[in-house]
Amino acid sequence: MRRSRLTVGIAALCVAVGIPAPVRAAPAPAPLPTVNMEATVLAAQIDPRRPDETLTPGAKASVLAVEQALQARHLLDARWVDGYFGTTTVTAYAAFQRSLGYTGLDANGLPGVSSLTKLGQGRFTVTHEISAGAKVQRDGKTVDARTQAMLTEAERLLGSHLKLDQGSYNPGGDPTSAGTHDGGGVVDVNVTGMNATSRTDVARTLRQVGFAAWVRDPSQGDWPWHIHAAAISDTDLSSQAQHQTGDYYLGRNGLANSKPDDGPKVPIHTWEEYQRSH
């Protein structure tokens, strides 16, 4: 590009009087694109359960950025870079987590803050972060801090305590749970003394604060009456629990028979979305 006469004149003058010529500042680098972690994690739960390739609303740009980064690391073939966080992308993301030395729940294919930040280095920044938090005790059962906060808010809305029959991080603890309690975010609520209306009210309230929650009865499996609840978008969800939360968004009952959702109907949202609206 041709410099202006004024610029050339100033440079010549500087040389003549023995001072350094002014240096034009380099243009600032373009800001990196952003990846919305909430949207990305949600897509990673729902997309693998879809019968088609419908994209999760609001997640395409973020998922594309993640897939492009996985492709750049030779973990995902170009044909799968499409904004759809299906099983192939979940598998690729789990492989990336393992490449960082992560194991177990830390390599479950759901993006966590640490792995997503590392994947995005030089490519994107992470917004709307989600964290399961530390493990804590509740009714003698283990849950994570995010799940604890959700249960506490549900209790506030109900005006009563929710006692747990089963907590989280309980691998092999109950064979009837099919692995859903192996990770974080999943609890079974005791319903002893509750009538049908009360059980439904509890399930509805749990859904309101961001759980995929269902009243389970003995006719459905080898278990007593209870309420099964999985915290949507908990980044420590086991693979089986991820499938349940995805099924919930798709109007299913979260059981192996994939029948229609039999719980109280409420607008579906995550804990983070609930917090922003209350």
Over the stretch 219-247, which tens digit does the pLDDT of each residue have? Answer: 999 999 999 999 999 999 999 999 999 99
At 18 the pLDDT is: 59
List, in sequence order, every beta strand (DSSP E) within the chain: 34-36, 125-127, 135-138, 141-144, 164-166, 186-190, 211-216, 226-231
Other CB atoms closer than 10 Å to residue 164's CB: what's the count?
A: 19
- The predicted model scores a pTM of 0.88
The amino acid at 248: Y
Rounded Cα–Cα distance for residues 278 and 274 (Å) = 6
Rounded Cα–Cα distance for residues 236 and 115 (Å) = 13
At 25 the pLDDT is: 64
Rounded Cα–Cα distance for residues 244 and 213 (Å) = 10
The answer to whether the CB of 45 falls within 8 A of the CB of 63 is no
Q: What architecture is domain 135-277? A: 2-Layer Sandwich (3.30)
Rounded Cα–Cα distance for residues 127 and 61 (Å) = 13
Backbone CA torsion sign across 47, 50, 51, 54? negative
At 2 the pLDDT is: 41
At 30 the pLDDT is: 77
At 172 the pLDDT is: 74
For the chain, what are the domain ranges? 34-127, 135-277
For residue 100, what is the enclosing H or E element?
none
Q: Which regions in the chain score pLDDT beneath 70?
A: 1-23, 25-26, 28
Rounded Cα–Cα distance for residues 230 and 143 (Å) = 11
DSSP-assigned states of every residue in 151-163: HHHHHHHHTS---
Structure tokens, 26: 């380099």
At 5 the pLDDT is: 46
User: Which residues does 128 contact at the CB level (< 8 Å), separation at least 6?
Assistant: 36, 37, 38, 39, 272
Query: In this predicted model, what pLDDT tens digit does every residue of 29-58 receive, in sequence order?
Result: 778 999 999 999 999 999 999 999 999 999
